[in-house]
A and B are shown apart, each in its own frame.
Chain A
Amino acid sequence: MKAIWAIASVMMRELVRKKDFYILLIFLLALLGFLSSQSFFNVEGISRYIKDFGYSLVTLFSFIIAVTFTAKQMPGELESKTIYPLLAKPVSRHTIILGKFLGGVVISSISFVLFYGIFCIFQWIGGTGNSFMLLGQGFLFGILFLCLVCAIAMFLSNIMTLGANITLSVLLYIMISGFADSVRDSVLFSKGITSVLGGIFYYLIPHFEFYDLRIRITHSWDPLPGWIVVAVALYTCIYCFVLIYFAGLIFRRKRL
């Protein structure tokens, strides 16, 4: 565990010492600040718009941090040859993958905590806050979503280039968030082999839409029932475990 954490901690220092995070933070503050200032002039419906737009920004910026930082870890190690002294230490290749994954999860979670905190503060200032339970669920789902994103980026980083990895991760996110419901509907209404293949495809894709509480938060609906939260957490754990396990297997077979 100490070795995994030691590998992960390097990524945390990278986050602190590189500009990417600060740029996104300033950008978020500026956008939320601008939108909030609009509400002072009594523009109708702006509070709901701030919630909707703000939550989407928080998710998007954390997603960017998670994908870019996690995806570049393994190609970066190989390109700069820093992987060799690391492999010469008493760690297995699975440990390295696990450490890098944990690092990705921790830094994107730290970013999410800050971004989400700012979002909550802006809601509180605007007097349009949600219940603590719903905000807490939004927070938990955000972290689970980032775990899944990091696991996908880590898995893909072992089989494709950095550029291809980031492009595919972004495409997956956009396509699945936007069209997962349509895929489900078409599977439900199809028959025969199409139904079987469609079903397999539907259950294999990472369901980013499970984590999206944007509408619920925007309209201040009731929090989700506990069993759904548990089911989504379990789904995330299993999906991440499978991806990281296979990422480790691929990395172990890689000739360096």
Chain B
Amino acid sequence: MREVLTANNLSYTYETGKKKVEALKGLSFAVNDGEIFGFIGPNGAGKTTTIKLLLGILISQKGELSVLGKSPTLPEARKSVGYMPEIANYYRYLTPVELLTMYGDIFGIEKKLLKARINELLRLVDLEKESDRIMGTFSKGMMQKVSFAQALVNDPDLLILDEPSSGLDPVARKNMREVIKSLRDKDKTVFFSSHELSEVELVSDRIGILNRGELLAVGPVEDLLGEKEEGQTLESYFLNMIEREI
């Protein structure tokens, strides 16, 4: 199976004045083509730093990183990547259609194709009726839906989602889970970080547990869950693992 995303001995340190914070310490993992990889960890574990490195927003100080066979610092590497940020904030004076058109134009999608794609995406996230409403009036959940739609505008091969279900109601969460699963059927790769362990368990093929910049465990969900004692949930397994580290 082809590796879509690889990180090898990745390190990153934030420096503010004399203070140094090691966000990632020799992180290594790989995500295969067509799999859903859940990335979990407590606050400050290094999940968002990892995602920023994967998108070329930060440049790795040590180690190697490859996204779809290219260095993520190259704009071309992001041509087939979709990204949904943790905080869904977009230009409040635009409508969802205008926002998606702008992003589609950046990807260089042909006009007719883009129009059809936007209609399809707005239907998918249930925002068809709000397509021409200014986003300044949208609720957090609606913005999250727009955020999900914009991540899919280029029909990406690799989708990177940062806390995708935060702010969504249970129905919307279920819909998003189904969309993510349907992406697997289309051989798309999904890399997502989440605090919602039940969600990670329901959707992921493999998970990685990150704490203080180090990967504590990585593997298929069933394998990791097989290691846990009877009656334990993924949450208690995760908490045990984190506490052991502390």
**Given known A-B contacts A3-B106, A81-B85, A90 and B75 have beta carbons under 8 A apart:** yes
Stretch in A11-19, A112-120, A138-146, A164-172 with 4+ CB within 8 Å of B: A11-19
Q: What's the Cα separation between A14 and B92 when bound, in Å?
A: 9
Q: What's the Cα separation between A5 and B94 when bound, in Å?
A: 16
Q: What's the Cα separation between A82 and B90 when bound, in Å?
A: 5
Proximity bits, A1-25, B CB within 8 Å = 1, else 0: 0110111011001100110000000
Nearest residue (CB) in B for A18 is B93
Q: What are 11 A-B pairs at a CB distance below 8 A?
A: A2-B105, A7-B102, A14-B91, A85-B84, A85-B147, A85-B150, A88-B85, A90-B77, A91-B75, A91-B106, A256-B57
Question: Is the C-beta of A191 less than 8 angstroms from some C-beta in chain B?
Answer: no
Query: Pick the contact of A90 from B14, B78, B98, B160 — CB < 8 Å?
Result: B78
Question: Is the C-beta of A221 less than 8 angstroms from some C-beta in chain B?
Answer: no
B-contacting residues of A (Cβ < 8 Å)? 2-3, 5-7, 9-10, 13-14, 17-18, 80-82, 84-92, 95, 255-256
CB distance from A225 to the nearest CB of B (A): 42
Q: Please name all residues of chain A whose beta carbon is closer than 8 Å to the beta carbon of B87 when the two chains form the complex.
A: 81
CB distance from A246 to the nearest CB of B (A): 20
Q: Please name all residues of chain B whose beta carbon is closer than 8 Å to the beta carbon of A7 when the two chains form the complex.
A: 102, 106
Q: Which of B75-106 contact A (CB under 8 A)?
A: 75-79, 81, 83-85, 87, 89-91, 93-94, 98, 102-103, 105-106
A-contacting residues of B (Cβ < 8 Å)? 14, 52, 55-58, 75-79, 81, 83-85, 87, 89-91, 93-94, 98, 102-103, 105-108, 134, 147, 150-151, 160
CB distance from A15 to the nearest CB of B (A): 10
Determine chain B's interface SS by DSSP, over half rule.
mixed
**Given known A-B contacts A3-B105, A18-B93, A85 and B57 have beta carbons under 8 A apart:** no
Q: What's the Cα separation between A10 and B76 when bound, in Å?
A: 23
Q: Please name all residues of chain B whose beta carbon is closer than 8 Å to the beta carbon of A17 when the two chains form the complex.
A: 93, 134
Q: Please name all residues of chain A whose beta carbon is closer than 8 Å to the beta carbon of B52 when the two chains form the complex.
A: 256
Query: Pick the contact of B106 from A2, A18, A84, A256 — CB < 8 Å?
Result: A2
Nearest residue (CB) in B for A9 is B102
Q: Please name all residues of chain A whose beta carbon is closer than 8 Å to the beta carbon of B150 when the two chains form the complex.
A: 85
Q: What's the Cα separation between A87 and B102 when bound, in Å?
A: 13
Q: What's the Cα separation between A43 and B44 when bound, in Å?
A: 72
Nearest residue (CB) in B for A253 is B59
Give me 10 other A-B pairs in contact (C-beta within 8 A), A13-B93, A85-B90 excluded: A5-B105, A6-B103, A82-B90, A85-B83, A87-B57, A88-B57, A88-B85, A90-B77, A90-B78, A90-B107
Rank and list the top 10 A-B pairs by shortest CB-CB distance, nearest first: A6-B105, A88-B83, A17-B93, A90-B75, A3-B106, A90-B78, A90-B79, A88-B55, A89-B106, A84-B85
Q: What's the Cα separation between A10 and B108 when bound, in Å?
A: 16
Q: Please name all residues of chain A whose beta carbon is closer than 8 Å to the beta carbon of B103 when the two chains form the complex.
A: 6, 85, 89
Nearest residue (CB) in B for A17 is B93
Q: Please name all residues of chain B whose beta carbon is closer than 8 Å to the beta carbon of A88 when the two chains form the complex.
A: 55, 57, 78, 81, 83, 85, 160
Q: Are B91 and A89 in contact (CB under 8 A)?
A: no
Q: Are A10 and B94 in contact (CB under 8 A)?
A: yes
Q: Please name all residues of chain A whose beta carbon is closer than 8 Å to the beta carbon of B56 when the two chains form the complex.
A: 87
Nearest residue (CB) in A for B57 is A87
